[in-house]
């Protein structure tokens, strides 16, 4: 397989060709293994509720640890591990090879077609373009769900920021800056000037991230997970660089607003880890897609 992604990140770099970063993260990084368990329990509940085998797309599956847990827990479920990075996807293919209902898909999620009952986006949201939620809605079956969980930047948007964003339908991240008005985006593009509010949000994001990454890296050191330490140092650097589109974590509230703007309704919100808000990064949402209008009634 050749690389589809262009940037040199821990997911694409040849330095990680033989290292399974995804597996190492399950012990050397806080909250990921706990999030896996939560996702498996949500899919198991859905399988029981619908009473039929499911098709599950694991978007940005990395090396397939979650896909493996899903197919082991639900052997009649078709699990598709989807990623654009050749190294981890080859590792996922090896792990899933013994399971006939599992497969891999080496293509951008945005190009994936075919109906699925569950889209899982686990740790992938902050790597994707912010309009991919529209594609999720296109491929979900009518009774399908989106399970979306991420390593967010711990909530850095104040109540006032959130109230302001709740009023806007034009939320956009441009060069790493969060905008809530098309006019401000246009002005930024023509002058290069970032308004004070938007600049302040970016500074708040960086400070919140720095606090979080120190906790993550200390956790990895305490677990003697040195590969995770190195990977997280690189990821932290990328994330603190405002305009780095490959690594840009935003806040849980922002995803909630984006879900709302795209017509998704949240049926469950689970925060992983029992810590203060500044050290709460992993949040998982189970969401119903936008209702398809009834062609007979238009409702
Ligand atoms: C943090 S990793 C996700 C880890 C994985 N879900 C797990 O459970 O271990 C993010 C992944 O998203 C993938 N990715 C980025 N853009 C993508 C896209 N457009 N379509 C599919 N995968 C993408 C990256 O290659 C990377 O492997």
Are residues 204 and 278 in contact, defined by beta-carbon separation less than 8 angstroms?
A: no
Q: Which of 21, 83, 113, 150 to mutate to test the pocket of ligand 1 (most atoms within 8 A of CB)?
A: 83
Is the pLDDT reported for residue 51 higher than 70? yes
Residue in 113, 130, 213, 132 with CA at minimum distance from that of residue 176: 130
Ligand 1 atom nearest residue 151's Cα: 1
User: Measured in whole angstroms, how far is the alpha carbon of residue 218 from the centre of its chain?
Assistant: 23
Ligand 1 atom nearest residue 132's Cα: 19
- The reply to whether CATH 3.90.78.10 applies to domain 14-154+249-288 is no
Domain locations in the chain as residue ranges: 14-154+249-288, 159-240
Residue bearing the CA closest to ligand 1, atom 12 = 60
- Quote the CA–CA distance of 133 and 258 in Å, as a whole number: 8
Structure tokens at 216: 């993550």
**Terminal-to-terminal C-alpha distance of the chain:** 46
Residues with CB under 6 A from ligand 1: 5, 11, 22, 59-62, 65-66, 82-85, 88, 108-110, 122-124, 127-128
Ligand 1 atom nearest residue 62's Cα: 27
Are residues 86 and 14 in contact, defined by beta-carbon separation less than 8 angstroms?
A: no
Question: Per-residue DSSP letters for 9-38?
Answer: -TTT-GGGTT--HHHHHHHHSTTHHHHHHH
**How many other CB atoms are there within 10 angstroms of residue 94's CB atom?**
13
Predicted confidence at residue 5, as pLDDT, reads: 47
pLDDT over 90, % of the chain: 88
- 116-122 vs 140-151, strand pairing mode: parallel
Question: Per-residue DSSP letters for 263-281?
Answer: T-EEEEEEE-SS--GGG--
Is the pLDDT reported for residue 54 higher than 60? yes
Predicted confidence at residue 126, as pLDDT, reads: 87
CB neighbour list of residue 14: distance below 8 Å, 6 or more residues apart: none
Residue 191 alpha carbon to ligand 1 centre in Å = 34
Residue 260 alpha carbon to ligand 1 centre in Å = 23
Residue 250 alpha carbon to ligand 1 centre in Å = 16
Residue in 271, 291, 288 with CA at minimum distance from that of residue 279: 271
Q: What are phi and psi of 193, to 5 degrees?
A: -90, 130
Residue 59 alpha carbon to ligand 1 centre in Å = 7
Q: What is the mean pLDDT of the chain?
A: 93
Confidence band of 245 (pLDDT split at 50, 70, 90)? confident
pLDDT digits (tens, 9 = 90+) for 188-235: 999 999 999 999 999 999 999 999 999 999 999 999 999 999 999 999
Q: Which of 12, 20, 60 to mutate to test the pocket of ligand 1 (most atoms within 8 A of CB)?
A: 60
């Amino acid at each position: 397989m050749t690389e589809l992604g262009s940037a040199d990140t821990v997911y694409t770099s040849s330095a990680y060709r033989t290292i399974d970063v995804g597996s190492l993260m399950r012990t050397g990084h806080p909250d990921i293994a706990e999030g896996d368990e939560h996702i498996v329990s949500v899919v198991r509940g859905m399988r029981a509720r619908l009473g039929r085998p499911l098709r599950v797309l694991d978007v940005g599956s990395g090396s397939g640890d979650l896909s493996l847990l899903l197919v082991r827990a639900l052997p009649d479920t078709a699990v598709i591990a989807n990623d654009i990075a050749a190294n981890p996807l080859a590792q996922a293919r090896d792990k899933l090879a013994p399971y006939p209902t599992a497969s891999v898909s080496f293509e951008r999620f945005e190009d994936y077609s075919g109906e699925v009952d569950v889209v899982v986006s686990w740790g992938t949201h902050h790597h994707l373009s912010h309009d991919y939620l529209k594609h999720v809605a296109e491929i979900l079956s009518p009774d399908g769900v989106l399970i979306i969980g991420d390593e967010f930047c711990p909530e850095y948007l104040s109540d006032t920021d959130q109230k302001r964003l709740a009023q806007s339908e034009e939320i956009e991240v441009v060069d790493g800056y969060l905008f809530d008005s098309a006019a401000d985006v246009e002005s930024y593009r023509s002058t290069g000037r970032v308004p004070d509010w938007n600049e302040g949000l970016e500074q708040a994001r960086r400070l919140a991230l720095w606090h979080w990454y120190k906790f993550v890296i200390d956790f990895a050191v305490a677990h003697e997970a040195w590969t995770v330490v190195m990977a997280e140092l690189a990821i932290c650097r990328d994330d603190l660089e405002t305009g780095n589109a490959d690594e840009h974590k935003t806040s849980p509230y922002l995803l909630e607003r984006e879900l709302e703007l795209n017509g998704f309704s949240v049926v469950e919100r689970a925060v992983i880890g029992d810590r203060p808000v500044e050290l709460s990064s992993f949040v998982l949402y189970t969401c119903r897609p936008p209702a398809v209008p009834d062609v007979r009634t238009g409702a």
